[in-house]
Amino acid sequence: MTFRRRSSPPLLRATGSALLISVLLARPAHGQAAIDPNVAPRAAALEREGERPMAIDLLGQYLATAPDDGSAWLQLGRFYLADERDWHLAGHRGDPDGVLYLDFATTAFEQSIRLSVDSGMVFRGYAEVERGVIMLETSGWNAALASRGHDTPPIPPYILELGANLLSSCPSGGVLLTGTDLESLSAWYGTLESPSVDVLLIRPDRYATDSLYRLRVAEAMGVDPALPVQRALAAVAPRRRLCLSPSADSAAAPALAWMPYRLVRVSGPPGPTTGALTVTELIKASRGNESPWVNDVRQVYDRAAAHNLLLCSSLLLLYGDTPPAACAP
What would the DSSP string read from start to end of 119-140? THHHHHHHHHHHHHHHHHHHH-
Q: How confident is the model at residue 300 (pLDDT cuts 50, 70, 90)?
A: very high
Q: Considering the chain, what percentage of its residues have pLDDT values greater than 90?
A: 67
Let me know whether 59 and 166 are in one domain: no
Q: How confident is the model at residue 4 (pLDDT cuts 50, 70, 90)?
A: very low
Structural domain of 24? 10-117
Report how far apart the first and last C-alpha atoms of the chain are (Å, whole number).
44
Give the count of domains, the chain: 2
Mapped onto helix, strand or coil, the DSSP state of residue 260 is: strand
For residue 18, being part of any structural domain is answered with yes
**Per-residue pLDDT tens for 201-228?**
999 999 999 999 999 999 999 999 999 9
pLDDT at 76 over 50: yes
For residue 148, being part of any structural domain is answered with no
At 150 the pLDDT is 58
Stronger pLDDT, 92 or 29, i.e. the higher one: 92
For residue 173, being part of any structural domain is answered with yes
Report the CATH number that the domain containing residue 66 is assigned in CATH. 1.25.40
pLDDT at 278 over 70: yes
Q: What single-letter amino acid sits at 119?
A: S
Instruction: Over range 100-119, report the average pLDDT.
Output: 95
At 122 the pLDDT is 97
Let me know whether 280 and 168 are in one domain: yes
pLDDT at 319 over 80: no
Q: Residue 137 and residue 17: Cα distance in Å, rounded?
A: 26
Instruction: Over range 293-297, report the average pLDDT.
Output: 95
The C-alpha angle 146, 208, 235, rounded to 5 degrees, equals 75
Q: What single-letter amino acid sits at 31?
A: G
What would the DSSP string read from start to end of 181-232? HHHHHHHHHHHHH-TT--EEEE-HHHHHH-HHHHHHHHHHHTS-TTS-HHHH
What would the DSSP string read from start to end of 81-106? HHHHHHHHHTTS-SSS-HHHHHHHHH
At 2 the pLDDT is 33
Stronger pLDDT, 79 or 21, i.e. the higher one: 79
Q: Residue 11 and residue 98: Cα distance in Å, rounded?
A: 12
Domain-terminating residue out of 63, 97, 117: 117
Q: Residue 130 and residue 185: Cα distance in Å, rounded?
A: 10
Q: Residue 54 and residue 307: Cα distance in Å, rounded?
A: 44
**Per-residue pLDDT tens for 165-208?**
999 999 989 999 999 999 999 999 998 877 778 899 999 999 99
Q: 239, exposed or middle or buried, with CB in 10 Å at 0-12, 13-18, 19+? A: exposed
Let me know whether 218 and 81 are in one domain: no
Domain-terminating residue out of 90, 117, 144: 117
Neighbours of 202 (CB within 10 A): 25
Domain-terminating residue out of 117, 140, 172: 117
At 197 the pLDDT is 82
Q: How confident is the model at residue 10 (pLDDT cuts 50, 70, 90)?
A: low
